Homo-oligomer: A and B are copies of this chain.
Amino acid sequence: MLNERSLAVSQQCAECPIRHRAVCARCENDELEQLEEIKYYRRFEAGQTVIWSGDRMDFVGSVVSGIATLTQTMEDGRTQMVGLLLPSDFVGRPGRATAAYDVVATTDLLMCCFRKAPFESMMTRTPHIAQRLLEMTLDELDAAREWMLVLGRKTAREKIASLLSIIARRDASINMRQTSGALVFDLPLTREAMADYLGLTLETVSRQISALRKDGVIQLEGKRHVTVPDMSRLLDEAGDDSDGGLFA
C-alpha cells in the first residue's frame, strides 16, 4: 500500500520506484548488485490476473508502474478488495508458498520481481532488509486497519469521499499536478472496482459520485477525470478528523 515513506522512495528513483531501494533504502552497493542478479521484470496488460489466490507463488516484487488490486472472493461471487497496489508497493510474502489473494492488474502494469528463495536467503544475510520489510508491512497493516473503519462504520458518501481523498493525495504526491489549490487526477478504477473496495454496489458508487458532483465537492469531466476544488472540503466529507496517516 501507499504511504509517505514509500512515496518518498519512489520520488528518489524515477525510472524504477524500487531500484531495490523501496525494498531497502539502506542497501550498500554490493547488496544492490546481489539483488540485481535475481531480479527480473514482468509486464501485464490491464485486466490481466497477476496471480490467483491459492496459486504457488515463487517470487516477491513490487510495482514499478501501473496499478494492481488485491481481492478476496467468496464462493457465491461476493468480492472484497483488500488492497490497492500502487507504484513502489510490495507484493508477496516471504515465508509463504502460495498467494492469499487474487492480484489483478487494473491498468497496464510493470512489476519488478525477485525469485523468492534467493530473496529470502539474502534477507537472512542482510538484516536491514527484514527491518525495512517490517516497516513496510506495519504501514500496510495500519492502512488495512484504517480501511476497516471505512468499511465498518462509514456511510456510502463518506466511503466515496475517503477513497477519493486517498487517490487524490497519492496522485498529488506523485505527479504534483496541483495548480492553485485544486487537485486534478484520473480515477484509476472502474465504478465496480471502487464498489468492491468500499463494500458497496456499483450503482451506489455512481449515485454518490453524482451527489458529490452536484454538491460541488468534486467536478467531473467525462467519467474518470476528477477535479477537487477544495481538498479540506473532501476530507470533511470523508469524516476524517485527522489529516495524516491515511493512505490506500
* Chain A interface (Cβ < 8 Å from any Cβ of B): 70, 72, 74-76, 78-80, 82-83, 93-96, 100-101, 123-124, 127-128, 130-131, 133-135, 137-138, 140-142, 144-149, 151-153, 198-199, 239, 241, 245
Contacts and interface: CB of A to CB of B under 8 A. Distances in A.
5 contacts: A72-B145, A78-B153, A80-B152, A80-B153, A82-B148
Contact of A245 (B100, B123, B124): B100
A151 B95 CA distance: 28
A153 B74 contact: yes
Given A127-B124, A241-B74, A148 B149 contact: no
Contacts of A78: 153
Query: What number of copies of this chain does the assembly contain?
Result: 2
B135 A95 contact: yes
Given A96-B138, A100-B245, 19 more contacts: A72-B145, A72-B149, A74-B149, A78-B153, A80-B152, A82-B145, A82-B149, A93-B138, A94-B138, A100-B145, A124-B127, A134-B134, A137-B138, A141-B144, A144-B145, A148-B151, A151-B152, A151-B199, A153-B199
Q: Which 3 A-B pairs have the closest CB atoms?
A: A152-B199, A127-B127, A82-B145
Nearest to A145: B82
A131 B141 CA distance: 16
A63 to B, nearest CB: 17
A117 B177 CA distance: 40
Contacts of A127: 124, 127, 130
A112 to B, nearest CB: 20
A194 B107 CA distance: 39
Nearest to A100: B142
- With most chain B CB atoms within 10 A of its CB, the pick from A100, A134, A137 is A134
B79 A153 contact: yes
A78 B155 CA distance: 11
A74 B94 CA distance: 35
A138 to B, nearest CB: 6
Given A74-B239, A82-B149, A95 B144 contact: no
